Amino acid sequence: MTAAHSLNQEWQNWLDQNLERRCDPVELYQIMRDNGFSRTVIKVMMGDAFPASVEEKPKPKGTVDYEALANVPLGANRPDLPLKRFETDLLQLYTLENFMTPEECETLIRLAETELKPSEVTHSNGDDRFRTSETCDFVHIREAFVDQIEEKIARTMGIRLSYSEPIQVQRYDVGQEFKAHHDFFSPDMPGIYEQYTGEMGQRTWTFMVYLNSTPQGGGTRFTEIDQTFYPKQGMAVIWNNLHPDGVPNPFTMHHGMPVEEGKKVIITKWFRENGQGPMFYAQPEEARQQGQNTASTLESPGSRRLTHTQQAKNRKQARKLKKQQRKQARARRKK
DSSP per-residue codes, 81-143: S-EEE---SS--EEEETTSS-HHHHHHHHHHHHTT-EE---SS--S-TTSB--EEEEGGG---
Q: Would 61 be classed as within a structural domain?
A: no
Pseudo-torsion of CA 111, 267, 312, 205, nearest 10°? 170
The verdict on 71 and 41 lying in the same domain is: no
- pLDDT, tens digit, 9 for 90 and up, residues 89-138: 899 999 999 999 999 999 999 998 888 877 655 444 454 554 567 887 77
SS3 content of the chain, % helix, strand, coil (to 5): 40, 20, 40
Q: Domain range holding 36?
A: 14-54
Same domain, 108 and 29: no
106 and 187 housed in the same domain: yes
In this structure, how many other beta carbons lie within 10 angstroms of the beta carbon of residue 129? Answer: 9
Nearest CA among 167, 118, 142 for reference residue 268? 167
Residues 44 and 108 in one domain: no
Question: Is the same domain home to 38 and 159?
Answer: no
* Residue 131 backbone phi and psi in degrees, to 5: -135, 115
Q: Provide the whole-model pTM.
A: 0.71
Count up the domains in the chain and report the number: 2
Mean pLDDT estimate for the chain: 80
pLDDT digits (tens, 9 = 90+) for 233-269: 999 999 999 999 999 999 999 999 999 999 999 999 9
* Residue 178 belongs to some domain of the structure: yes
User: Are 104 and 46 in the same domain?
Assistant: no
Q: Are residues 42 and 174 in the same domain?
A: no
Are 70 and 40 members of one domain?
A: no
The reported pLDDT for the residue numbered 300 is 28
Contacts of 101 (CB under 8 A, 6+ apart): 234
Residues 119, 49 share a domain: no
258 in any annotated domain: yes
Identify whether residues 137 and 197 lie together within a single domain: yes
pLDDT of 34 > 70? The answer is: yes
